[in-house]
Structure 1
């Protein structure tokens, strides 16, 4: 499958990009906001919410510029799909509108902060239809393509350079998203969430999940990522007998957005406090992944991380280089 896309993604070249941290955990635990369904996209509907999002992304964009790194602007639309939108009172037309306005905000940030040394890529962010921690309500690949197509087509009608799907818990939904993005003419990145044993919530190994998506889509995904897991949860899956076989699967992993915490998903789900770990230690652990993942290009945070963690990731990667 060969896609003709509007853009060549600069993170596919030999340069490092940063992205943001844990948006929702920052808003909930640092700002004290109530986020029903853990959704941040409704903030786009109020002046105060829009300002908070603008300030949030600007802080990270400035970190990227200071480090002379590229930056991937992921929209706050992880929950902006039909099932979650319905729970929050959004019909399909309202979701279309909020997804478009999310891209508009990213365009604004890029105009203000992008420079030659820090190019900025706009990515329309998708989340799973179900829970991001469990492989519940699994769909076929075709059902997943039909489900996610509308949000992806909206992004394709905007200035989005790509789409990225985060906290994917099983391969079939990822296959459907890659196919929908290909049909819409947008590059796609698939980010799997991993348990403390390094496997997807579905029980698949990361290697097998990547192979299944690539086999079913003729390698149409631009790249794969890992998110919502601590490096100690999956490092062992990247080496040893599995990782040592030269079949190219490690080179398909080009991004990591790690949790600050070593807690399991079940523990995080029931947490009333924020475990923000050790930002400097996380920075060193992410930088060390470059030795195992030579194609690693997009680095940021997930649950519990904030600008401090991304600053340390940028610093550690600069020192390693």
Structure 2
């Protein structure tokens, strides 16, 4: 959503945060339009929809960097879920999941000092506690770069009796930004949390970057989702990009459909950096035509 708003729609996103849009009617209309577009794709292709909240960087440190105090942040987290619940009423009979998006404390691509699992649990509990007061269906930890932060998010979600999904980002070599193999990261989180996470995902990477790491091994059964980049650029290149690299929407749809055909339990598919509704439509079309 953020790259589409920033590059395609020309919306200013300080700190790459979309939650400030909740503060104006124009901004709320943009978010509602995005949710409606997803719902329309779901209806057209008869598939369920996961609505992700615009709260990816709505945590204490990331909010402070653009002038938001914790109390205001927590209120915006709640408003985001309320807006999605309103959108869900337009979905009809198709299943719609309200996902509260929780992002990393630090840069997703180049994390600085890493937290321990205990520190991560304490830090992310503030945001998750606020979300627990809403009608959210699950917590989704996106673009996580190292296992300890993921463990903390899972533990925090468990404290509030909320289902949780963990999405790791990987580099062009299929490894996490810290160098850890995806298999090891997933296994470490599961071992530390008694397999509490509902499932794992890969996000913010092009299929070419991780396809060779997906094998018919037990750990792969824990991966149920891929939210892919349209661009084949590295994260460093994406950080410096001044124009959107939208890649090839049709090709991306076919690549994700191929992964689903090989690993049929991968049932959550979507788009991250560089994608828009063209990509989402092609993903839905390719997977439904298998």
Q: TM-score per shorter chain, which class?
A: over 0.9
Matched, 1:71 2:49: yes
Q: Paired residue for 1:197? A: 173
Q: Secondary structure at the match of 1:124?
A: strand
Cα deviation, residue 137, structure 1: 2.1
**Stretches of 4+ aligned residues off by more than 4 angstroms:** none
Cα deviation, residue 36, structure 1: 1.1
Matched, 1:33 2:11: yes
Unaligned runs of 5+ in 1: 1-22
Cα deviation, residue 296, structure 1: 0.6
Cα deviation, residue 251, structure 1: 1.0
1:39-62 Cα distance to aligned partner (Å, 9 max, x none):
100000011111111111111111
Task: Give the TM-score of the pair, scaled to structure 2.
Answer: 0.98
Structure 2 matches for 1:244-255, cutoff 5 A? Answer: 244=216, 246=217, 248-255=218-225
Residue among 262, 265, 271 paired with 1:295: 265
Residue among 163, 168, 173 paired with 2:139: 163
Q: Paired residue for 2:227? A: 257
Cα deviation, residue 29, structure 1: 0.6
Q: Secondary structure at the match of 1:200?
A: coil
Cα deviation, residue 218, structure 1: 0.6
Cα deviation, residue 291, structure 1: 3.2
RMSD (CA atoms): 0.9
Cα deviation, residue 292, structure 1: 3.4
Q: Paired residue for 1:268? A: 238
Q: Paired residue for 1:236? A: 212
Given that 1:170 and 1:201 are in contact with CA atoms closer than 8 Å, whether structure 2 keeps it comes out as yes
Q: Count residues in correspondence.
A: 290
Task: Give the TM-score of the pair, scaled to structure 1.
Answer: 0.89
Structure 2 matches for 1:1-321, cutoff 5 A? Answer: 23-113=1-91, 115-116=92-93, 118-238=94-214, 243-244=215-216, 246=217, 248-320=218-290
Q: Secondary structure at the match of 2:90?
A: helix
How far apart are the structure 1 equivalents of 2:259 and 2:207? 8
